[in-house]
């Protein structure tokens, strides 16, 4: 009781100090430097996060933002989520005009209560409180003050005063209060000062404060956002959620906790057990057993997102999946784990942050940074990775969705941070050969054979495995970048037993008026299907480094018959560019009856300084031009 009282006093003192009153939000008080490039100015922000005990926490936050123009309106919208474990105690808000004069306060009835279930999900336990003043006389200021109670201590807030571009910050402050003996963990980015520590009898407090951050703009291929702006991540030490206890100060311990959530949920029904033995007992090779069971999983389950249970962290048990034949990533992974276990094969439930362009995990700061679960089967030589939500990927192949990043592999002894396989220049190959003809009307008829490998086949892989023939044709007729064309026939062959997987595609493609006819001349672009599109704007003020992630190699060969009676008037010169960003060569030859074109484009990955930007822009422009240069044929007289 006394403890609570002290914290309460502690709280109210700083609230009083904060309550500066009306008039302060006049736009005239904003320093000019903070208006530059800004749509929104954060006038003040105060976050107070209090760890009450191992199972409870509270958050109080207040912020005032001035919206300078229409593009800032989005920031004025208020969203806060809640569920069984997280309740919103109060929401207060005030709207001020440009002079800082109060226009009105929020009425409780103005707050909307929305479902938090996303489009992709069947159901999620989260709900959302939403409010918007819908004001539009600029500039105006909204001030929100919110108190939240948590019945868990697994997730801590993050302090990122500048959480979007075109937003400047006048002042922002975060205070964390915890029991004296609590070992708070934190990690700061772009913020060199240590937090201000204060001790108040039974409580400790840490305060971070920052002022006057001018607005910034994101740039092409710039690093992850948290590497650009002042950010402090917080991490729990001991924590609790719905009766489950854990510690998070090491990846090992965090892994132990995740393991405890799933322990005992691997019991299979008898008929499935039997099936496992039927399928695998006769096989001697571990790898074969894994593949066989993975196929069984793929043929008998499907992905359905059901986000319930321990804040969405506990997998549904194996029996649930066995009877319903569906589950989310956790449930399906746990089910696969159970199948393998029955066959005597050990595997590891593995947390990962999935997404083609997902920001990377902060590897030296154990905390909840994941959004997906996959399975890793460690075998004597190498590991087999399984994406259990896919019904078509071959065993062992992770697509661009989860490849080349940190993942937390979990077993009974805890978690270990490992890296998933990387697919690089050698693997991500696209090799295409087009054989065709142009007639004197400029019409093209051609056969296009393409081999796609590793990440280059990802999109196609899901298209051919999930869509009906009809829809594939529909896609093909829509997505090729040619003015007027038709796909007459298509065929796909998957090579799943090679690693990484390969798809062989054959298209019969016609395009009317592919070559432009002007009087006696025919203009033919020999690069029919593989043009680069990226052009970068000039940016002499480039601020951030350049991060190029995906590596790949494209090889294109085109052999085009030309109508008789024509000779070449102009042929694009041979091109060879070698830069740190990639290598590009193309050659064009015209014989009596043929155009022969060969192009190779290699894209490298890497981190480059901002000063390299003009060079990169120039390189992209060169490729853009080279890919569009034309052979000019003229009718012999």
Partner 1 sequence: MPIKLKLLLLAVLFAGLQGIAQDKLNIKFGKVSPEDFDLSKHSFDTGASAVIIADIGNTAFEGNNKGSLSLLFKRFERIKILTKDAFEAANQSIIVYNDGYSEEKLLDLKASTYNLENGKVVETKLDDKSIFTDKITKYESRKKFTLPGVKAGSIIEISYSVRSDFYRHLRAWNFQGEYPCFWSEYEVTIPPFYHYVALNQGDQNFSISTSKQVGANYTLREPGGTGRDDIVNFNGTATASRWVMKDVPALKQEPYTTTLRNHISRIEFQLHYFQFDETSERHDYMGNWFIASEKLLDNENFGKALDEDNHWMSEDLRSITSGCKSSLEKMKKIYAYVRDNFTCTDHDALYTDNSLKTAFKKKNGNVAEINLLLTAMLRHEKIEADPIVLSTRDNGYASETYPLMERFNYVICAAKDSDRTYYLDASEPLLGFDHLPVDCYNGMARMINKEKPYVKYFDSDSLKEQKMTQVLIINDEKGHSVGSFQSLLGYDESYDLRERIRKKSTGAIFSDIQTNFGSDVKIENTAIDSLNKLEEPIKISYDFTLKNEGDEMIYFNPMMSEGYKDNPFKSAVRKYPVEMPYCMDELYTFSMEIPNGYTVEEVPKSARVALNENQGMFEYLVQKSDDKVMMRSRIRLNKAYFPPEEYNSLRDFFGYIVKKQSEQVVLKKKK
Q: Which residues of the shown chain bind partner 1 in the complex (CB under 8 A)?
A: 70-71, 104, 112-115, 117, 122-123, 127, 132-137, 299-300, 302, 304, 323-326, 391, 442, 465-471, 473, 477-478, 483-484, 486, 512-513, 516-521, 523, 535-538, 569-570, 618, 621, 624-625, 630, 632
Phi and psi at 415, nearest 5°, equal -110, 150
Nearest to partner 1 of 112, 593 (CB atom) = 112
Residues 6+ apart with CB under 8 A from 605: 424, 548, 549, 550, 551
Least distance between partner 1 and beta carbon 133 (Å): 8
By the 8 A CB rule, do 139 and 207 touch? no
Least distance between partner 1 and beta carbon 190 (Å): 27
Nearest to partner 1 of 365, 492 (CB atom) = 492
Nearest to partner 1 of 58, 129 (CB atom) = 129
Nearest to partner 1 of 245, 302 (CB atom) = 302
Least distance between partner 1 and beta carbon 427 (Å): 26
Nearest to partner 1 of 267, 481 (CB atom) = 481
Nearest to partner 1 of 304, 435 (CB atom) = 304
Q: What is the Cα–Cα distance from 133 to 105, expressed in whole angstroms?
A: 9
Nearest to partner 1 of 248, 321 (CB atom) = 321
Least distance between partner 1 and beta carbon 205 (Å): 39
Reading phi first (left if > 0) and then psi (alpha if -120 to 50, else beta), residue 23 is in: left
Nearest to partner 1 of 231, 307 (CB atom) = 307
Terminus-to-terminus CA distance in the chain, angstroms? Answer: 103
Least distance between partner 1 and beta carbon 170 (Å): 24
Residues 6+ apart with CB under 8 A from 125: 83, 84, 116, 307, 308, 312
Least distance between partner 1 and beta carbon 469 (Å): 5
CA dihedral 517, 518, 524, 529 (to 10 degrees): -60
Reading phi first (left if > 0) and then psi (alpha if -120 to 50, else beta), residue 593 is in: alpha
Least distance between partner 1 and beta carbon 444 (Å): 13
Least distance between partner 1 and beta carbon 324 (Å): 4
Least distance between partner 1 and beta carbon 36 (Å): 13
Least distance between partner 1 and beta carbon 219 (Å): 13
Nearest to partner 1 of 88, 473 (CB atom) = 473
Nearest to partner 1 of 368, 516 (CB atom) = 516
Of the candidates 362, 87, 81, 380, the one whose C-alpha atom is nearest the C-alpha of residue 235 is: 362
Tokens of 595: 């155009």
Q: What is the Cα–Cα distance from 69 to 575, expressed in whole angstroms?
A: 48
Q: How many CB atoms lie within 10 A of CB 213?
A: 20
By the 8 A CB rule, do 337 and 309 touch? no
Nearest to partner 1 of 112, 285 (CB atom) = 112
Of the candidates 344, 346, 318, 342, the one whose C-alpha atom is nearest the C-alpha of residue 332 is: 318
Residues 6+ apart with CB under 8 A from 301: 321, 325, 326, 327, 332, 335, 391
Helix (H, G, I), strand (E, B) or coil at 222: coil
DSSP-derived secondary structure letter, 357: T
Phi and psi at 518, nearest 5°, equal -130, 105
Nearest 5°: the CA angle 70, 100, 32 is: 65
By the 8 A CB rule, do 502 and 495 touch? yes
Q: What is the Cα–Cα distance from 333 to 340, expressed in whole angstroms?
A: 11
Least distance between partner 1 and beta carbon 401 (Å): 17
């Amino acid at each position: 009781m006394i403890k609570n009282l002290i914290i309460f006093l502690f709280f109210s003192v700083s609230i009083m100090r904060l309550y500066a009153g009306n008039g302060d939000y006049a736009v005239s008080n904003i320093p000019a430097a903070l208006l530059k490039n800004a749509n929104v100015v954060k006038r003040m922000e105060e976050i107070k996060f209090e760890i009450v005990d191992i199972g409870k926490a509270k958050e109080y936050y207040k912020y005032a933002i001035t919206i300078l123009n229409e593009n800032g309106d989005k920031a004025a919208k208020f969203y806060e989520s809640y569920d069984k474990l997280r309740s919103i105690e109060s929401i207060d808000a005030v709207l001020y005009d440009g002079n800082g004069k109060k226009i009105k306060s929020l009425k409780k009835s103005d707050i909307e209560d929305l479902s938090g279930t996303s489009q992709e999900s069947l159901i999620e336990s989260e709900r959302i409180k939403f409010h918007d003043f819908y004001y539009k006389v600029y500039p105006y200021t909204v001030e929100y003050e919110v108190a939240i109670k948590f019945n868990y201590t697994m997730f801590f807030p993050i302090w990122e005063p500048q959480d979007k571009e075109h937003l400047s910050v006048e002042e922002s402050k975060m205070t964390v209060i915890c029991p004296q003996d609590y070992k708070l963990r934190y990690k700061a980015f772009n913020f060199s000062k240590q937090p201000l520590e204060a001790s108040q009898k039974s409580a400790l407090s840490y305060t971070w404060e920052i002022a006057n951050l001018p607005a910034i703009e994101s740039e092409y291929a710039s690093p992850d956002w948290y590497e650009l702006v002042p950010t402090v991540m917080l991490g729990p030490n001991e924590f609790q959620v719905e009766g489950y206890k854990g510690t998070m100060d090491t990846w090992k311990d965090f892994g132990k906790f995740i393991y405890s959530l799933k322990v005992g949920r691997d019991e299979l029904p008898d008929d499935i057990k039997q099936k496992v033995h039927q399928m695998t007992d006769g096989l001697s090779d571990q790898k074969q057993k894994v593949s066989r069971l993975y196929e069984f999983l793929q043929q008998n389950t499907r992905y359905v997102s059901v986000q319930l249970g321990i804040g969405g962290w506990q997998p549904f048990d194996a029996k649930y999946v066995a009877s319903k034949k569906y589950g989310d990533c956790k449930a399906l992974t746990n089910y696969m784990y159970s199948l393998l276990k029955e066959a005597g094969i050990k595997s590891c439930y593995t947390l990962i942050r999935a997404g083609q362009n997902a920001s990377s995990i902060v590897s030296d700061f154990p905390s909840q940074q994941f959004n997906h679960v996959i399975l890793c089967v460690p075998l004597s030589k190498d590991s087999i990775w399984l994406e259990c939500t896919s019904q078509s990927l071959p065993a062992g192949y992770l697509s661009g969705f989860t490849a080349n990043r940190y993942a937390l592999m979990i077993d009974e002894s805890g978690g270990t941070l490992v890296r998933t396989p990387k697919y690089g220049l050698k693997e991500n190959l696209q090799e295409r050969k087009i054989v065709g003809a142009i007639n004197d009307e400029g019409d093209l008829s051609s056969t296009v054979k393409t081999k796609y490998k590793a990440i280059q086949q990802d999109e196609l892989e899901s298209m051919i495995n999930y869509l009906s023939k009809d829809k594939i044709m529909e896609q093909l007729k829509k997505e090729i970048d040619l003015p007027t064309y038709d796909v007459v026939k298509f065929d796909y062959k998957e090579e799943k037993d090679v690693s990484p997987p390969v798809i062989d595609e054959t298209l019969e493609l016609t395009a009317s008026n592919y070559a432009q006819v002007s009087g006696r001349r025919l203009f033919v672009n020999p690069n029919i299907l593989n043009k680069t599109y990226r052009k970068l704007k000039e940016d002499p003020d480039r601020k951030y480094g350049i991060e190029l992630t995906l590596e790949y190699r494209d090889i294109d060969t085109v052999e085009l018959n030309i109508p008789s009676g024509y000779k070449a008037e102009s042929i694009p010169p041979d091109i060879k560019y070698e830069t740190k960003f990639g290598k590009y060569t193309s050659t064009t030859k015209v014989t009596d009856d043929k155009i022969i074109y060969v192009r190779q484009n290699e894209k490298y990955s890497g981190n480059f300084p901002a000063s390299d930007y003009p060079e990169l822009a120039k390189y992209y422009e060169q490729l853009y031009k080279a890919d569009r240069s034309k052979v000019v044929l003229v009718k012999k007289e």
